[in-house]
Chains A and B, each alone.
Chain A
């Protein structure tokens, strides 16, 4: 394997691991607000790393631009949906929680 392929491999694997970290954060974090963090930060970085890792696979201008466009769109989408969820959660006064507290909003028993 050439140096470039090593670099690519590193970027791809670390991008995928970033997704995994985001998912674990989504499961482990204590309340809705912190879960938004886990999701929108880790996933955007993960996708960015994967996109960077895929660019050397083709070295074609059109594909590179399309990959970057997809990344930009996903970032815009997660920023927007994260903001909307947080905005509505604040309006509905979703409680903040510290790690370790039990979670039991009214009416939902899971």
Chain B
């Protein structure tokens, strides 16, 4: 069973790594934010599996907290950062 948990963790970490490509490439701010959203969900999955693997129930609470806070970044982004015209200021 430990082997399965480990494999799942590794695949999930690999998925994070793939997501990083989208943050690096952009090109829009929204695309980067979507990647951040992906990190949040993947983090929840990772924490749930770690809770079982390490017999650490508090990791489940951490996952709960992450799940609750997942949409905060999107709300802050849409209401504050991504206003019309800001996109072109993001220079490289």
- Taking Cβ atoms with an 8 Å cutoff, the residues of A that contact B are 1, 5, 8-9, 12-13, 15-17, 19-20, 22-24, 26-27, 32, 35-36, 39, 43-44, 46-47, 50-51, 54, 57-58, 63, 66-67, 69-70, 73-74, 76-78, 80-82, 84-85, 87-89, 91-92, 94, 103-110
Contacts and interface: CB of A to CB of B under 8 A. Distances in A.
Given A50-B45, A50-B49, A80 B34 contact: no
Given A20-B15, A78-B70, 17 more contacts: A12-B5, A13-B7, A23-B16, A26-B22, A32-B30, A32-B31, A39-B37, A43-B41, A67-B60, A69-B64, A77-B68, A77-B74, A81-B37, A81-B74, A85-B34, A94-B28, A110-B26
B8 A74 contact: no
Contacts of B12: 16, 19
Contacts of A104: 27
Contacts, number: 172
B41 A70 contact: no
Interface of B: 1, 4-5, 7-8, 11-12, 14-16, 18-19, 21-22, 25-28, 30-31, 33-35, 37-38, 40-42, 44-45, 48-49, 52, 57, 60, 63-64, 67-68, 70-71, 73-75, 77-78, 82, 84, 87-92
A109 B92 contact: yes
A66 B29 CA distance: 33
B52 A57 contact: yes
B72 to A, nearest CB: 9
Contacts of B75: 80-81, 84
Contacts of A24: 18
Given A32-B34, A77-B70, A105-B28, A8 B44 contact: no
